[in-house]
Amino acid sequence: MRRLMIAGNWKMNAASDTTAAWLDAVVAVNAPERDLVVCPPFPYLGQVVAGLEQSQLQVGAQNCASEDGGAYTGEVSVAMLADVGCQYVIVGHSERRALYAESNELVLAKTRRVLTAGLKAIVCVGETLSERQAGHAEQVVGQQLSLLLSELNTTEWQAVIIAYEPVWAIGTGETATPEQAQAVHHFIRSQLAARDVGLAEATQILYGGSVKADNARELFSQPDIDGGLVGGASLDADQFLKICTA
């Protein structure tokens, strides 16, 4: 039985005082049957790790370098993330793919770094509005998954979470209907099943795209949706807690 996971992605939003207030509000969350994760910006990782030391919540990073270390000014290695207490790393978010031209090959390289460090990778896939309107959603998502499926072994897959995020529903207030989301989640699981049925049954697949407290329950009730990668709503502690217990 797959556990439900809720992961909050703060993106480039935080300050020390607002982070402290958020931590005070969520530290006592009690949802033992669920995996709860928060991914703040790099400068606040240490603060969040310390603030959640006695909490159920775990901590993830929003990105990582594809290299182990060296002369890569401005980059952050997975070894550094593990050293400060991260357990998860988001890889291949649509904003990284679109704004920083991250390719499927780079996403694979970063995923491998994450797994080699003993962390878990939340790997994002998803189509743009034009790709969906052209009827290419499954083709795009399939291509984004293909390298991962061909290159990662079954043991590595045990530390991979897939997050389906329709790009047209991120930060727009638009949300895929539960039926639309379920259809793509089912497609993703069928791609995993073509590789290994056990792998497909075990892999958590999250939905990301304007998840809020008022739509979380219906989304999470779909058979192939195992939780959410939550953006803006995760910045509001009350909203995040409601989603975590939806």
Q: Which residues are catalytic?
A: 93, 165
SS3 state at 65: coil
Residue 232 marked as a ligand binder: yes
Structure tokens at 20: 């402290």
The owner of tokens 């031209």 is 101
11 is in an annotated binding site: yes
Please write down the long-range contacts of 212-221, taking CB distance under 8 Å and 24 or more positions apart. 212/175, 212/239, 212/243, 213/239, 213/242, 213/243, 213/246, 215/175, 216/242, 216/243, 216/246, 217/246, 218/178, 219/175, 219/178, 219/181, 220/4, 220/246, 221/178
Q: Tokens 């995040």 appear where?
A: 240
Q: Which amino acid is at 220?
A: F
30 labelled binding-site residue = no
Q: Does the annotation list 171 as a binding residue?
A: yes
Binding residue ranges: 9-11, 171, 210, 231-232
Q: Which residues are annotated as a binding site for substrate?
A: 9-11, 171, 210, 231-232
